[in-house]
Amino acid sequence: MSHLEIWIAILGMAVVTIVTRALFLMAGEHVTVPDRIARALRYAPAAALAAIILPDLMTWQGHFTVAFSNDKLMAGIAATLFYLLTRKMVGMIVVGMAVYTALRLLGG
């Protein structure tokens, strides 16, 4: 590939990225989203977070496991319980990391 072809590819990827991400901003108020879809989109961040976090919590040493020996899962449960009781995000992170660190140090 020549330098020109590389720059054309980079420019093309930049244009495609900008257009696809800014499409709703460029359309402005001309596009309206139905209420049903707007309500459903409220759950998108939580669903994406669950899709990223849960697989990591459910694997331990390369294997799927739901057991007390899974330090990541136990720390995740402790952090979730703390958040449900207090609604404090920073505290949840601290509790989760503290439980995970303690379990890792005590376990070996």
Handedness of CA 99, 102, 107, 108 (dihedral sign): positive
**What confidence category does residue 41 fall into, taking pLDDT thresholds of 50, 70 and 90?**
confident
Q: pLDDT tens across 58-67, in order? A: 988 888 888 8
- In sequence order, the 6+-apart residues with CB closer than 8 A to the CB of 107 are 69, 71
**What confidence category does residue 71 fall into, taking pLDDT thresholds of 50, 70 and 90?**
very high
Mean pLDDT in residue range 94-100: 97
Checking if the pLDDT of 31 tops 90, the result is: no
pTM of the prediction? 0.61
The tokens describing 45, both together, are: 């961040």
Q: Which amino acid is at 39?
A: R
Q: Which amino acid is at 81?
A: L
CB 59 within 8 A of CB 71: no
Query: What residues does each domain of the chain span?
Result: 1-32, 46-107
The tokens describing 84, both together, are: 């449900």
